[in-house]
Amino acid sequence: MRIIIASNNAHKIGEIKTMLKEFDLEVLGLQDAGIDLDVEEDQDTFMGNAYKKAKEIYDHLTPEAQENTWVLSDDTGLAVEALHGAPGVYSARYSGVAHDDAGNNRKLLKELQGIPEEGRGAKFVTAMVLLGKKLDIRVFGEVQGRILESLNGQGGFGYDPLFFSFDLGKSFGEATEAEKNSVSHRGRALEALLRELKHDENRGGF
């Protein structure tokens, strides 16, 4: 069985591969699978975007490929209390340009300028979907924290250097990959997904 991750983000693919390494699965990104399909993330919820990506990519596969392939898709974003849940589904393009991490972080800091520590609560949210033949699993994962007043740490990507994790007592930018994976929103969503798979009587687990 193979899983195609609905992404070309090397960081994301690497995280998911690490989390799945104990299972006998071939894990591929879109480029590895030879798929050149850019799904527009135009839904108004994380789960809506995640499902749309998984469905369009699965439907793009040949009938033969669908027999032994699952498509794993997620939509992840940052929800800041003081900004009424923003940037939310626009997290990757908050500054107006997709995946401009530096620009997104600058805008977030500007929007929160003058707001004290106790008002900077935030959470990372991941909605995750796994689609296959007669398989449709949808789960969420969350991690709580707050937004720092400046970048802290060189690790991770996206908003990681600004997100102080309550679980770790440090920013995701300061955390090792193993530390982040142990508490991360994507990790928790994936754990929930794997629990669902293991209890799927039709599949008999892994």
Question: Over the range 5-31, which residues count as b (16 or more CB within 10 Å of their CB) and which as e?
Answer: bbbebeebbebbeebbeeeeeebbbbe
- Residue list, annotated binding site for substrate: 7-12, 76, 157-160, 180, 185-186
Distance of CA 108 to CAs 80, 86, 88, 154, 206, Å? 9, 9, 12, 18, 41
Query: Which residues are designated catalytic?
Result: 75
- Residue list, annotated binding site: 7-12, 40, 75-76, 157-160, 180, 185-186
- Residue list, annotated binding site for Mg(2+): 40, 75
Strands of 163-165's sheet, edge to edge? Answer: 26-29, 2-5, 69-80, 121-132, 135-147, 163-165, 170-171
